[in-house]
Amino acid sequence: MEGLKTKILGLKKQTADLKKILKIKQKKEHIEKLEAKISKSDFWQNNSSSTKVLKELKQLKNDVGDWDYLDNKLTELAEFINMDDDSLEKEIRREVSKIEKKYKSLELKTLFSSEFDKANAIIEINSGAGGTEACDWALMLFRMYIRWAEEKEFKTKVVNQVQGDEAGIKNITFFIEGIRVYGLLKSERGVHRLVRISPFDSSRRRHTSFASVDVIPEIEEDIDIEIKPQEVRVDTYRASGAGGQHVNVTDSAVRVTHIPSGIVVSCQNERSQHQNKHAAFKVLKAKLYELKEEEKQDELKKMKGKKQKIEWGSQVRSYILHPYLLVKDHRTGVENHNAEAVLDGGIDDFIWGYLKAKSQK
């Protein structure tokens, strides 16, 4: 029991240190101010402003709630351990194990310091070298991120996708909305390599496929990005679908081309042309903001890293399914031999490994 006492006291001290780093006291004071603001009769008159305040309040409460839970649990465990009841040792050890995981999760919140880390994320996946194999690999990556988001209870929305000629997808653009999504998923930017026995090869040979993942932050509506009408070409076309009674028979899909930059954004998954146009301009705005920041201060360029070809030698992570099972991040050295679990959304170890490595540079 003595060892448990030392561990609990150590966690208690570390949690107190985290209180200062995470500025819990200041956040509690800010929560009170926001709640007072919400209680005013005119708060709901400006929908855009009220939404922003509610989003900020939710994030602050999330941080404070996690810290309060941890602190209360440790106080409770300290009381139990002081009872010197050996019959409680097994239960206390189990609770300490849970607390250590909770502490680790809270500690990692200190890694989110970038201006964009709190934002939702816009993700683009493009198949690379490997033909049908690469298109199937792009679809596998999309499924991996969707399963990861579902486990975290984040919202997802596909805005555009182009199917592969035989299987999979050539490219796909989708949103993931939730607390610090961009801060988490910026670790996924780069080329991802898959090695496996091809299900499309009758000779059962081993194939290597590539797909690129790009992650950019969704830009808030109040950030001023000028998009001049004369610099944009908007084309409409018939959205592709799987057929059947719900196939789209109107030109509801939208392709927006920003002529000065050459950026092209397509959207076809919303119900109407108006909704598709709105979603496409939201993605365009995020891309133009990214471009603007790169030109102005090179900040996002450092975050994004060097653009790489979607081929051999440029990958940030490898997923090997044959002749053995291994997923390895080449930037951090983090490995996981349970490749199936990783492809089922278990990418947290790679995310945290990347964030920790970046924080130490």
Q: Which residues of the chain have pLDDT under 50?
A: 242-249, 299-301
The pLDDT value given to residue 81: 81
pLDDT in tens, 19-40: 888 889 999 999 999 999 999 9
Alpha carbon distance 204, 108 (integer Å): 43
Q: What percent of the chain has pLDDT over 70?
A: 89
Integer Rg of the chain from CA: 24
Q: At what angle do helices 24-38 and 2-21 cross, to 10 degrees?
A: 60
Predicted TM-score of the model (pTM): 0.71
User: Pick from 60, 72, 66: which is nearest to 27 by CA?
Assistant: 60
| CA gap 187, 181 in Å, rounded | 11
Query: Which residue shows structure tokens 């390895």?
Result: 328
Where does residue 40 rank: exposed (0-12), middle (13-18), buried (19+ CB within 10 A)? exposed
Predicted pLDDT of residue 341:
97
Domains in the chain, ordered, with CATH?
A: 2-111 (1.20.58.410), 121-219+310-359 (3.30.70.1660), 229-297 (3.30.160.20)
Looking at residue 20, its pLDDT comes to 87
**pLDDT the model gives residue 310:** 59
Per-residue b/e over 41-55, b at no fewer than 16 CB within 10 Å? eeeeeeeeeeeebee
Q: What is the pLDDT of residue 153?
A: 92
User: Which among 187, 116, 120 is positioned nearest to 350, based on CA atoms?
Assistant: 187
pLDDT in tens, 104-161: 878 877 788 677 888 899 999 999 977 899 999 999 999 999 999 999 999 999 999 9
Q: Identify whether the C-beta of residue 286 lies closer than 8 Å to the C-beta of residue 218.
A: yes
What pLDDT sits at residue 300? 42
pLDDT given at position 298: 58
